[in-house]
Amino acid sequence: MDPFETFKAAQKQGWAHFTPFEAITTPCAAKLVKRAGVRAGHRVLDVACGTGVVSVTAARLGARVTGLDLTPELLERARENARIAGVEIDWREGDVEKLPFEDAAFDFVLSEFGHIFAPRPEVAIGEMLRVLKPGGTIAFSTWPPELFVGRMFALSASYMPTPPPGVAPPPLWGDPNIVRQRLGAAVKDVLFDRATMLVPALSPSHHRRASEKSAGSMVRMVAELEASDPAKLEKFRREYDALAGEYFEDNYLRQDYLMTRARKI
């Protein structure tokens, strides 16, 4: 099997447990949709939509929304979320590296902490820009490498097997210089913003335990270490808690992130 397909199949398994974290990404979804400027009647694609927090937020404004994600368990929850909110959304199981849409099909292409997990950034961004209309808006939220989530990804990666050559670390999407490069000459009016996600937690260890159960590749990594090397797992847990402690205050973990918005030429 193609190593990138194997990589994505493993991602799909890890993300299947993400639903409890929708409570944390929900407020950020409102910020992204607002910052992008979505209005009634716009055609919106929410890439790596997970349980549909961005999709539902946009649909409640009257946009015509398509939500696409790799993970069927999350799309099931997304359908339920749309039903509860009373909105119609076109849900698709699929891969951001191979979007099943025609060129220039959408006014907006959005991604909240999503497309960054595609192994090949240049393929993912190529597809996102391909399906966007000229003059349309691309907007996404991403984790900077030097802040908590970026550092946590780097820590977790140091405990995992090396990914196939060519797989880019997700937090590079949180570096404005790299984002500019990846968007390239296809866009104009690139705008960056910082925003804060406050994650309630009783202690850094509570935050870590929640991540171990729900956060993508960490779910698998912890299960594997539990079986193969419990001492190494304990070391990881101590390092995670120390890192999380640096960002922990008033029973919140502060996770600052980058928002990018640009217009396709």
CB of 183 to ligand SAM, least distance (A): 19
Residue 130 lies near ligand SAM (rule: CB under 6 A): no
Residue 263 lies near ligand SAM (rule: CB under 6 A): no
Cβ atoms of residues 37 and 189 within 8 Å: no
Q: Which is nearer to ligand SAM, 96 or 187 (CB)?
A: 96
Interface residue with ligand SAM, options 44, 45, 49, 244 (CB under 6 A): 49
Distance (Å) of CA 147 to CA 78, 164, 224, 235, 259: 29, 25, 26, 21, 14
Residue 142 lies near ligand SAM (rule: CB under 6 A): no
Residue (of 142, 98, 143, 144) closest to 120 by Cα position:
98
Interface residue with ligand SAM, options 43, 114, 156, 208 (CB under 6 A): 114
Residue 39 lies near ligand SAM (rule: CB under 6 A): no
Residue 53 lies near ligand SAM (rule: CB under 6 A): yes
Q: Which is nearer to ligand SAM, 114 or 204 (CB)?
A: 114
CB of 198 to ligand SAM, least distance (A): 15
Residue 66 lies near ligand SAM (rule: CB under 6 A): no
Scan residues 79-108 and list those touching ligand SAM (CB under 6 A): 95-97
Binding mask 1-30 for ligand SAM (x = CB under 6 A): -------x--x---x--x---x--x-----
Cβ atoms of residues 110 and 58 within 8 Å: yes
Residue 117 lies near ligand SAM (rule: CB under 6 A): yes
Written as one letter, the residue type at 156 is S
Q: Which is nearer to ligand SAM, 26 or 203 (CB)?
A: 26
Strands (E), the chain: 43-47, 64-69, 90-93, 106-112, 132-142, 187-200, 248-249, 252-264
* Cα gap 56→58, rounded to integer Å: 5
| Residues 6+ positions from 76 with CB-CB distance below 8 Å | none
Dihedral sign, CA of 215, 179, 26, 129? negative
Give the binding site for ligand SAM (CB under 6 A). 8, 11, 15, 18, 22, 25, 48-50, 53-54, 69-71, 74, 95-97, 112-114, 117-118
